[in-house]
Amino acid sequence: MSVETLTIQGISRPVSRIALGTWAIGGWMWGGSDESKAIATIRSAVERGINLIDTAPVYGFGNSEEIVGKALEGIRDKAVIATKVALDWNDDGPFRNATPARIRQEIEDSLRRLKTDHIDLYQVHWPDPLTPIDETARELEKLRQEGKVLALGVSNFSPEQMDAFRDVAPLAAVQPPYNLFERDIEKDVLSYAKDHGLAVLAYGALCRGLLAGKMSPSTRFDGDDLRKVDPKFQSPRFEQYLAAVAALEDYARARHDKTVLALAIRWILDKGPTIALWGARKPEQIEGVDEAFGWSLSQEELDEIDKILTRHVTDPVGPEFMAPPTRKG
């Protein structure tokens, strides 16, 4: 398979334009985790040329990072590890905490879990309104100078917040939600990234599995699965999104003989300096990854896709429900 790549400032090796997203591998909010399948999934991704592995401490409260560390034992040199910082948690769940003290604690915990001496891309998971951005950026720049991280990124930041970060430290990447159904970054973040040479790691590329093309109106979610509270998966919106997916599937087959999943990933890759995060926790869930490479969508096709979305999704909703709370001051 010929994997498309791009360069992230500060990371010497080319990075695959599809990254393996490991939120679900952590188990929390996804109905649990199967460690052996998760390890096999990560190793299979690396074997296929998907060298960027994106994780975070809060994914399973350390579990995802630990699984990534186990999976990459012996093959660390083949992988680019992206993890995150600045979410704390207690019995009530996660909350934002980007203080220098929290950053110092998290970097050591992440290095230990991941069984590595450095993080390739270290990203602020969410902005913390109780901590000045320059304080956060300054501490992260110290970590970069110490060699504990190679490149710095932010997630869920606005252009103004990224400006404040860049006043203090070099910024290499931004990770926002971005997929066919969730496109707020087209208002400002995407153009900002293009203007400032930032890689865009698009999380939710398959919109919590909607764009995998495997769901039906009878699909149900169990346990702590976040889709039980995601507005997109509640009637009548769920039916609207499923109708859009079905129409997109027909279009992808007719135009390119591709699946809707491949179309959804290709759409992201054609939008800029983008990397699509492909969430998977079973090896078979990444078998179609090569279908997204080696072709592109014309402007006419992009316009037709927009028409399909407008026709079927009459009550769209974003991913705002996922935002964690601010800590108590």
Q: Is residue 222 one of the residues assigned to a domain? A: no
What angle in degrees, to the nearest 10, is found between the helix axes of 133-145 and 100-114? Answer: 40
Is residue 59 part of the annotated active site? The answer reads yes
The pLDDT value recorded for residue 99 is: 97
pLDDT in tens, 192-239: 999 999 999 999 999 999 999 999 999 998 887 889 899 999 999 999
Cα–Cα distance measured from residue 58 to residue 26, given in angstroms and rounded to the nearest whole number: 8
- Is it the case that residue 33 has pLDDT exceeding 80? no
Residue 327 lies in a domain: no
Residue 91 lies in a domain: yes
User: Does residue 30 form part of some domain?
Assistant: yes
Please report whether residue 31 resides in a domain: yes
Q: Is the pLDDT of residue 32 over 80?
A: no
Quick check: 131 and 98 in contact, CB under 8 A? Answer: yes
Distance CA 258, CA 274 (A): 20
pLDDT band at 26 (very low <50, low <70, confident <90, very high): low
Kindly report the CATH number assigned to the domain that includes residue 87.
Answer: 3.20.20.100
pLDDT at 297: 98
What does pLDDT average to over the chain? 94
Range of the domain at 129: 3-209+259-295
The pLDDT score that the predictor gives to residue 29 is 47
Q: pLDDT tens digit string along 248-292?
A: 999 999 999 999 999 999 999 999 999 999 988 888 888 888 899
Is residue 88, in this structure, part of any structural domain at all? yes
pTM for this entry: 0.94
Residue 202 resides in a domain: yes
Query: CA–CA separation, 237 vs 259, rounded Å?
Result: 22
pLDDT value at 149 more than 50: yes
Residue written as token pair 């207690």? 90
Residue 250 resides in a domain: no
**Count of structural domains, the chain:** 1
Mean per-residue pLDDT, 68-96? 94
